[in-house]
Amino acid sequence: MRFVLFGNTYQTKKSSHIEKLLGVLRRLQNEIYMDRSFYEFVKQELGLPFEPDGVFEDGQFTADLAISMGGDGTFLKAASRIGSKNIPIVGINTGRLGFLADIMPEEIECAFENIMKGDYHVQERKVLQIECDGQALDGYPFALNEVAVLKRDSSSMISIHTTVNGQYLTTYQADGLIVATPTGSTAYSLSVGGPIMVPQSGILALTPVAPHSLNLRPIVIRDDCEIILDIESRSHNFLVAIDGRSEGLHEGSRLTIRRAPYTIKLVQQTGHTFFTTLREKMMWGADKR
């Protein structure tokens, strides 16, 4: 098989995991192509004596499968690089929680032996697309987890006039508003009181960040809805964060959020389910007494 490899370039303490992965892939006679930044990290920072079949930059690659080695942040970056290429992503978790990265370091050998046998399944995850009428977005305008509108340069709240499918919903007086997919429901949205949503449930959550009114609660809508946000701010600017990548926009910019025309594909081990991951990561049912 042909693999493209993305990785966290800050985890020098995890070099043994990287060395193990590269050794397993070579033993199983795969082609390995590495993202240039990760390749330079492996060679210069870790000093591993490994030469891939090729090194790539930007979107100049094709593969049967992609590998993301790191935490969920690394996975999100890999997903943004893959975009609509339709390449399934294998996530190896060397980070913390790891809802997206499905394979633990100690499972690398067994997991890839099973992958080579075709013993795995692929799950599709919906993606959000964001457009801005008043200003061009500099970064990648697609989100696997969430799009967040947040205050900037001021302690004052922002006003977020929100319309869903052409119908006025409300004006959020808050520090921000998160539009989260089911994939992102266990990320930023969860930390501010949003609901956990099962993948492929066909819904989105609108979760306010520190709203002025306690009556403003998270709301769940269909994922084929078009959401329009008009933002007012005393500082005349605000932040939009797309899967953690943030940029500043000017007051008066209208944001339109809708479902993207493609999905991101996650490789999951046979027997691994969302509910299993949820129980393990959230420690549901654990009793430390």
DSSP string, the chain: -EEEEEE-SS-GGGHHHHHHHHHHHHHTT-EEEEEHHHHHIIIIIS------SEEE-TT----SEEEEEESHHHHHHHHHHHGGG---EEEEE-SSS-SS--B-GGGHHHHHHHHHTT-EEEEEEEEEEEEESSS---S--EESSEEEEE--SSSS-EEEEEEETTEEEEEEEESEEEEE-TGGGGTHHHHTTPPP--TTS-EEEEEEES-SSTT---EEEETT--EEEEEE-TTSEEEEEETTEEEEEETTPEEEEEEEEEEEEEEEETT--HHHHHHHHHTTT----
pLDDT value for 263 = 97
pLDDT value for 142 = 96
What does the block give as tokens for 192?
């501010």
Nearest-angstrom CA–CA distance, 137 and 144: 17
pLDDT value for 165 = 98
Instruction: State the amino acid at position 59 in one-letter form.
Output: G
Average pLDDT over residues 34-49: 89
Average pLDDT over residues 111-121: 95
pLDDT value for 83 = 94
Q: Give the β-pairing of 203-209 and 245-250.
A: unpaired
Percent of the chain with pLDDT over 70: 99
Instruction: State the amino acid at position 254 in one-letter form.
Output: R
When the pLDDT of each residue in the chain is averaged and rounded to a whole number, the result is 92
**Statement: residue 14 has pLDDT above 70:** yes
Nearest-angstrom CA–CA distance, 86 and 136: 26
Q: Which residues contact 116 (CB under 8 A, 6 or more apart)?
A: 1, 28, 30
What does the block give as tokens for 177?
């508003």
**Statement: residue 208 has pLDDT above 80:** yes
**Statement: residue 131 has pLDDT above 80:** yes
pLDDT value for 227 = 98
What domains sit in the chain, N to C, each tagged with a CATH number?
A: 2-118 (3.40.50.10330), 127-261 (2.60.200.30)
**Statement: residue 203 has pLDDT above 80:** yes
Decide: residue 1, CB within 10 A, 0-12 exposed, 13-18 middle, 19+ buried.
Answer: middle
**Statement: residue 286 has pLDDT above 80:** no
- Report residue 134's pLDDT band, with 50, 70 and 90 as the boundaries: low
- In DSSP terms, 56 is beta-bridged to 35
- Catalytic one of 35, 58, 72, 224: 72
Q: Tens digits of per-residue pLDDT, 241-268?
A: 999 899 999 888 899 999 999 999 999 9
**Statement: residue 59 has pLDDT above 90:** no
- Report residue 179's pLDDT band, with 50, 70 and 90 as the boundaries: very high
- Report residue 80's pLDDT band, with 50, 70 and 90 as the boundaries: very high
Average pLDDT over residues 18-24: 92
Whether 72 is catalytic is yes
**Statement: residue 154 has pLDDT above 80:** no
Average pLDDT over residues 57-75: 93
How many CB atoms within 10 Å of residue 268?
18
Write the secondary structure of 16-53 as one string of H (helix), E (strand) and C (coil): HHHHHHHHHHHHCCCEEEEEHHHHHHHHHHCCCCCCCC
pLDDT value for 275 = 87
Nearest-angstrom CA–CA distance, 177 and 210: 9
